[in-house]
Amino acid sequence: KKLTKRQKKAAVAKVPYFTPKPASAIKGIDIPVEHMMPQQRIDLIADLSESILEDPASALTSTRTEIATPSKSQSKKENDDSNVGGSDAPINEPQYHKTQSKMNKLLDLASLSTNGHDSHAARLALLSLLAIFQDILPAYRIRLPTEAEMSVRVSKETKKDLGL
């Protein structure tokens, strides 16, 4: 079996081939896709895919971080200047920056209209999404139990698992 360059480097350095990355370590997740270079898009697709496969539960949640506000003395001075005109602007209202979910970012990379018409990156993103869905979705069909299955006697644990 042939090893990739990345795997050879990891073997020589005696480090694990795959080290999981926290969501905050994904570079470029806040940069608009159309402003990225092609290699940056490809690297982002790889990082997002690894992160989603590592923790699928967090893949669909977007985060919100508070934007740093100026100190109270500065904001008071600005509010004094703004109140001269008679406006009643709210004082010290926090502002937030919403970060797109990992799955939405990957879907944006898969769309030609939002990724800067980069067909190579779109294909890679679609293949990554396919691999993610195959890994996350169960191999069995999810359905409601039939009347015959409902009439069968089952243990409390099974009832709890089935949600009955």
pLDDT digits (tens, 9 = 90+) for 63-109: 777 777 655 445 555 555 555 555 555 567 778 777 788 999 999 99
> Going by DSSP bridges, is the β-strand pair 63-66/96-99 parallel, antiparallel, or unpaired?
antiparallel
What's the one-letter identity of residue 138? Answer: P
Q: pLDDT tens digits, residue range 28-60? A: 788 888 888 999 999 999 999 988 888 888 888
Distance of alpha carbon 69 from the chain centroid: 26
| Nearest of 15, 71, 26, 28 to residue 49 by alpha carbon | 26
- How far is 3 from 9, CA to CA, in rounded Å? 10
pLDDT, position 73: 47
pTM above 0.75, yes or no: no
Alpha-carbon distance of 156 to 162, in angstroms, equals: 10
DSSP assignment string, 19-83: ----GGG-TTSSS-GGGS-HHHHHHHHHHHHHHHHH-GGGTT--EEEEPPPPPHHHHHHHHHHHH
